[in-house]
Amino acid sequence: MRGFLSLQVIAVIATSATGSPLTIRNLSDPNYGPVPGESSYYSDYTGRAPPFPANVTAPILPSAKGQPGPDDRLFQNLLAAEWAIFSFYQQGVEVFNASSFTALGFPNTTYSRLLEIRDTEAGHMRIFQDSISPTSIKPGSCAYDFGFQYSDDASVATFLALQTLIEVSSMVFAAGLVRQAITDETKSALVGIGETETRHGIWALIDIWHVDPFAGPIDTVYPYANQILDSTNRFIVPGSCPSINPVYPSPRQNLPQLSSNSTVGVGTPGNMIVFEFVDPENVPVFKRGCDYYAVFFHGLETISVPLDISKLSSVIPGELEEKGIILVVLSDKKDAPTQDSVLAGPLFLLQQPSALQTQFPK
pLDDT in tens, 314-330: 999 999 998 888 999 99
Q: What is the mean pLDDT of residues 114-127?
A: 97
Confidence bin at 266 (pLDDT 50/70/90)? low
Q: What are phi and psi of 270, to 5 degrees?
A: 95, -20
Sheet containing 258-260: order of strands: 258-260, 272-277, 313-315
User: What is the structure's pLDDT at 17?
Assistant: 38
pLDDT in tens, 22-66: 455 577 777 788 999 999 999 999 999 999 999 999 999 998 999
* Percentage, residues of the chain above pLDDT 70: 89
Rounded to an integer, what distance in angstroms lies between the CA atom of residue 167 and that of residue 162?
Answer: 9
* Dihedral angle computed from the Cα positions of residues 37, 41, 44 and 46, in that order, rounded to the nearest 10 degrees: -150
CATH architecture of residue range(s) 258-356: Sandwich (2.60)
Q: What is the mean pLDDT of the chain?
A: 87
pLDDT in tens, 186-203: 999 999 999 999 999 999
User: What is the structure's pLDDT at 262?
Assistant: 55
Rounded to an integer, what distance in angstroms lies between the CA atom of residue 293 and that of residue 39?
Answer: 49
User: What is the structure's pLDDT at 20?
Assistant: 39
Longest dimension (CA), the chain: 66
Quote the pTM value. 0.89
Query: Within the chain, where are the H helices?
Result: 2-8, 24-28, 41-44, 72-95, 98-102, 110-131, 153-177, 184-203, 225-230
Inform me whether the pLDDT recorded for 357 exceeds 90: no
Inform me whether the pLDDT recorded for 10 exceeds 90: no
Cβ-proximal residues to 335 (8 Å cutoff; 6+ apart), any chain: 293, 295, 302, 304
Exposure of 134 in the CB half-sphere (CA atoms within 13 A): 12
Ordered by start, the domain boundaries in the chain are 2-235, 258-356
Nearest to 194 by CA among 217, 212, 173, 215: 173
